[in-house]
Each structure stands twice: as C-alpha cells, then as structure tokens.
Structure 1
Amino acid sequence: MSMRADELMRATIKILTDGAELESGSAATHVERALDKLMDLQQVVQETPQSPEDFAYFKKQVVQLLKTDQNGHGLTMYVFHCFNYAGRGRLDGFEEACHRRSAVQLLNDEYAPWSELFIPDDLEVIEEIDELLEEASDDAPPVPEPGIPGWVPDTHWWWRAPKRQDMTEEERAERIDYDSNDGL
C-alpha cells in the first residue's frame, strides 16, 4: 500500500470517528472533509492500485462510520449544500455542485448503495440535484478540463454537461463572480 493512500485512509477514519463522537449538532464539516479525502484517495488508488483486502476493510469502516447518527446528519447536510450549489449552477455554483455530486456518486459506486447511507428524502434531493444540473447546463460556466478530477469516469456526466464549452474565460469569470446585488 502506498504511503499516500495509507495516510489518506487513516485521516478519513480519524475525521469520521471524530464526527461520530460529537456530543450534539451535526458532523457536516467532518463529513465534508472526509469526502474530500475519499476523492483524493480515489485518485491515488487509480494511479497506484491497493491491496484488495486492506481496501475492503477500509471501505467497511467508512460505511460503518457514515451510518452513525452524527455523520448521517452530516451526509444529509452535504447533499443539501450540493442542492444549493446546483440551484446556482448558471452562476457560481456549478463547479462545486459537480464536486459534491461526484463525492456522493463515489459513495454509491465504491462504498455502499445509497439506500444504506442516505435517508429517503436525501435520495429524492439527489434526483433533484441531477435535474438542476441538467437544467443549468444550457448556461452554466464550463469547468476547465484541469479542474475535473482525473479519476472521474464518464458516468459523472455533470462535469461536462455545460453546452457552452466555448465560453470565454471573461464570460466564465463574470458568471462565477456574480454578486446577487449586481441587479440592484
């Protein structure tokens, strides 16, 4: 196992364990940090395959920790924030919505079916996120190719969904730097 993968796996477990042990409130920031680590780990694993046994044990730990009450609430908040970013997809929210949507998809593809990790309301919100991203794709600022994680498969269609791939950097910046007070 590569040192980088081992470090990412240990950090992820530590973050999720800390989130699970919170006395009250949500582990939203813990879940967000852990999912970022899982995305980094996915890139490392793609470049340097890991021992199937070690990785299977790690995945089992991640799933168990995500199922705790605090981390479960954190997952709900993560999906809610993704929904909010997707709602701003024509402006400054598209890239962050894609990032979060890929993290959620990674859980389903590599760790456990969504039905084991998310409450039914979250599953409906994930469907709504996809609809919002599709609707925004007509005008969304495209994500530059270097901004798309290298491990992302073609099934993560949202990254390349913007129809205006020819948008100039100036147009893209105007949309991303949008201020809700600009129209006032």
Structure 2
Amino acid sequence: MNIVFHPARMCLQNALISFAEAGRARPDKYGGHLLSAASFAHGMLAIVGMQVGGDDGTITADDLALFWPAAVELIAASETGLCWYIDDAVECAMHCACTDEWEDVCIARTAIQLVLTSCPEAGGLFGREEYELLADMDETLRSQAAFVDSLPEPGISANIPADHWWWRLPTPDEDAD
C-alpha cells in the first residue's frame, strides 16, 4: 500500500472523532456538506487503518465490541454520509483508470465492506439506495480493471481480507492479455 496508516488504536479513535464531526456538520450555504463529507471520509479511512494495523495487539476484541456499535450510531447520525461516501467512491471508480486512483478506490470499497460486515447493527445503515450504489461500484470496478495495472501483491496488506477481491483485479491472467 502506498498509504501509511497511524497505529490501529489511533485509527479507532480517529474514526469515532471523524464520524462525530460528520454528524455535527449540517448543510448550509457555507459548505457544511463539504465538512461533513470530508470528516466522514476520514472516518472511513480510519476504519481501513484499523484493519491494516489490526493484528498489532493494540486493538482487542473488547475494544471492537465497544467500537462498532458506537461507530454505527455515529454513522447513522451523519444522515446521508454513507450514501454520499459510496456515491463518491462509485464516481472515483468510474475515472480511476484515467487518474491512477485504483488503490484509493480499493481502500474506499474495503472501508464500505468493513462497515457492512463487521457489526450486525451495520446492516441497518444500508438501504436500497446504498446497496444499489454498492452494486454499481462493484460492476464499475470489474469493468475498469481492464484499464489498470494490478497492484503488486507485496503492496497489498496481508490484513486485507481475502474476499476483498477488488484489490486483486485484474488477475495476473487478465494482465497477460
């Protein structure tokens, strides 16, 4: 990975702080949406940082048991933050072959998946619109894979779950074509 994350415990704390900030920002004519979106995106990035550094012993199962319900509550309080985040990630995925942002899109998709699968309460954050956007993102990632170089395996953190297939697109066989 080209990005360097803070230690996992700091990422856990930063995620909660960022989601709280996103929930406090209200739309206004002075850019409240921008503050909310930026804070929300920072929180999602911190969730990936927790995963990437998650086996360093600084985050315990008890920490996660407290973190996820609090994070879900804060994400829900940000109202449309998750939908905006997924929509922005889909937009980035559409252009990642031209802008060399494949890794950034993979990070965003992993953040979304971690929220979706890490806590039973998180399922309530995803409505029809979020699931449709997620399906659009997956379809876009598959179609854009033909136009990007695969990420080098040593560059993919060992802590990225194996079922996060987007990190391994295109497959080496597809690269040869």
- TM-score (ref. length: structure 2): 0.79
Counterparts of residues 26-175 of structure 1 (less than 5 Å): 26=33, 27-48=36-57, 50-68=59-77, 71-92=78-99, 93-112=101-120, 115-163=123-171, 164-165=174-175
Shifted more, 50-59 versus 101-110: the winner is: 50-59
In structure 2, do the counterparts of structure 1 residues 83 and 23 end up closer, same or farther at CA, with 3 Å as the change threshold?
Answer: closer
Q: Which amino acid aligns with 1:59?
A: W
Per-residue displacement from partner, 1:109-144 (whole Å, max 9, x unpaired)? 213466411332121010011111112222322223
Taking only the aligned residue pairs, the percentage that are identical comes to 23
Aligned residue pairs: how many?
163
Q: Which residue of 1 aligns with 2:11?
A: 8
Unaligned runs of 5+ in 2: 1-6
Q: Is the 8 A contact 1:88 1:94 kept in 2?
A: no
In structure 2, do the counterparts of structure 1 residues 123 and 132 end up closer, same or farther at CA, with 3 Å as the change threshold?
Answer: same
Whole-angstrom distance in 2 between the partners of 1:150 and 1:35:
19
Q: Which residue of 2 aligns with 1:20?
A: 23
Secondary structure of 1:153's aligned partner: coil
Q: Which has the higher contact order (CA 8 A, sep 6+)?
A: 2
User: Which stretches of structure 1, 4 residues or longer, exceed 4 Å deviation after superposition?
Assistant: none
Q: Name the structure where helix makes up a greater proportion of residues.
A: 2
Q: CA deviation at 1:145?
A: 2.7
- Root-mean-square deviation (Å): 2.4
Q: CA deviation at 1:73?
A: 1.7
Q: Which amino acid aligns with 1:101?
A: R
Whole-angstrom distance in 1 between the partners of 2:163 and 2:56:
19
Q: Which amino acid aligns with 2:20?
A: T
Whole-angstrom distance in 1 between the partners of 2:45 and 2:22:
15
In structure 2, do the counterparts of structure 1 residues 88 and 113 end up closer, same or farther at CA, with 3 Å as the change threshold?
Answer: farther
Secondary structure of 1:79's aligned partner: helix
